[in-house]
Amino acid sequence: MDKTDRNIIRALQKNARMTNQELADTVNLSPSPCLRRVRALEQQGIIRAYTLEIDNEAFGLPVTVFVRVQLEKHTQEVVAHFEAQIKEQKNVLECFVMTGRADYLLKVVVKDLHDYEHFVRHSLHSIGCIASIDTSFAYGVVKKTTLLPDHHIV
């Protein structure tokens, strides 16, 4: 990836709905080479998807929960089972493999505390193989972005 590719990505992160002409103007390319670069970034898997950012509260899922999960065992079968089950949970937006006390950190959205209790009792507990669940509720957002930093900034 060169500087122009990075500029294309940055512009699309800010506004994925811009036309190819607008994008080309933004990154100082003519439309055809710009489109070829975008298609190449897509084919290489660098650009994986174009998505919408939704207001969770307006959508009816105003509660964001961070759930730290520790497994009972760490066999290949247990890990594969847990990860396969988590991938099927629609309320889990993200799942990270972690270092430290917790094995996984889940980002979960729910409509209220009752909905979260239902999620834990019927979705998490039914997976089995979980030694502990530690929950933190987010009550505010200081920063939320999908813009990756410029690779030169540390």
User: Residue 28 maps to which CATH number?
Assistant: 1.10.10.10
Residue 37 pLDDT level (bands cut at 50, 70, 90):
very high
The proportion of the chain whose per-residue pLDDT surpasses 90, expressed as a percent, equals: 91
My answer on whether 67 and 128 are in the same domain is yes
Residue 95, Cα to own-chain centre: how many angstroms? 8
Residues whose CB falls within 8 Å of the CB of residue 151, separated by 6 or more in sequence, listed in order? 6
| Count of other CB atoms within 10 angstroms of residue 17 | 8
Mean pLDDT, rounded, for 126-152: 92
Residue 150 pLDDT level (bands cut at 50, 70, 90):
confident
Strand-pairing partners, residue 64, are 109, 138
Q: What is the CATH number of the domain that holds 86?
A: 3.30.70.920
Its domain, for residue 64, covers: 56-138
My answer on whether 95 and 24 are in the same domain is no
The count of domains in the chain is: 2
Specify the pLDDT at position 154.
47
The candidate with the shortest Cα–Cα distance to 69, out of 113, 102, 40, is 102
My answer on whether 63 and 96 are in the same domain is yes
Residue 148 lies in a domain: no
Specify the pLDDT at position 152.
59
Residue 107 lies in a domain: yes
My answer on whether 39 and 85 are in the same domain is no
CB 29 within 8 A of CB 38: no
| Count of other CB atoms within 10 angstroms of residue 51 | 8
- Please state, in angstroms and rounded to a whole number, the distance separating the CA atoms of residues 18 and 29: 15
Mean pLDDT, rounded, for 103-116: 98
Mean pLDDT of the chain: 95
Distances (CA, A) of 153 to 4, 80, 115, 148, 149: 17, 36, 41, 11, 7
Residue 143 lies in a domain: no
Residue 147 lies in a domain: no
